[in-house]
Amino acid sequence: QLQLQESGPGLVKPSETLSLTCTVSGASISSGSYYWAWIRQPPGTGLEWIGSIYYSGSTYYHPSLKSRITMSVDTSTNRFSLTLRSVTAADTAVYYCARVYLHTDYVDYWGQGTLVTVSS
């Protein structure tokens, strides 16, 4: 059974850097049929695609976040990561990591989500 688990600090100060890691178990992150994504959900609002990464390291970022985001993948540990720089209160959200089917781009597995609050 595939499982994804987000980890990282739940509180980040404004202007600092948010770093999250997603650990994948039950399947290889190197599967060519899937890519891996970060999706967030600010409190009380909808889902927002942040970006995605393929096991080869190719990345695709949301245009509005592109200047502040870096995603990376570590196939040896079956993990992928998100770094979001210069955070503000608007970045407060539940952050989900997810698996996306490559050919028709649907999310078939989600992590449980982790709340990250940006506050001093």
Partner 1 sequence: QSALTQPRSVSGSPGQSVTISCTGTSSDVGTYNFVSWYQQHPGKAPKLMIYDVSTRPSGVPDRFSGSKSGNTASLTISGLQAEDEADYYCCSYVGDYTVLFGGGTKLTV
C-alpha to C-alpha distance for 57 and 74, rounded to whole angstroms: 9
Are 52 and 60 in contact, with CB atoms under 8 Å apart? yes
Q: Which is nearer to partner 1, 50 or 118 (CB)?
A: 50
Least separation, in Å, of the C-beta of 86 and partner 1?
A: 21
The strand pairing partners of 116, in sequence order, are 93
Q: Kindly tell me which of 10 and 63 has the beta carbon lying closer to partner 1.
A: 63
Q: How far apart, in whole angstroms, are the C-alpha atoms of residue 44 and residue 49?
A: 16
**Closest distance of CB 13 from partner 1, Å:** 26
Q: Based on CB atoms, which residue is closest to partner 1, 63 or 120? A: 63
For the bound state, the minimum distance from the C-beta of residue 82 to partner 1, rounded and expressed in Å, comes to 15
How many CA atoms lie less than 13 Å away from 39 in the CB half-sphere? 21
Which of 13/66 has CB closer to partner 1? 66
Q: What is the dihedral of CA 115, 112, 95, 37, to 10 degrees?
A: 170
The least CB distance from residue 95 to partner 1, in Å, is 11
Give residues in contact with partner 1 (CB under 8 A): 35, 39, 45-49, 52, 54, 58, 60, 62-63, 96, 100-101, 104-108, 110-113
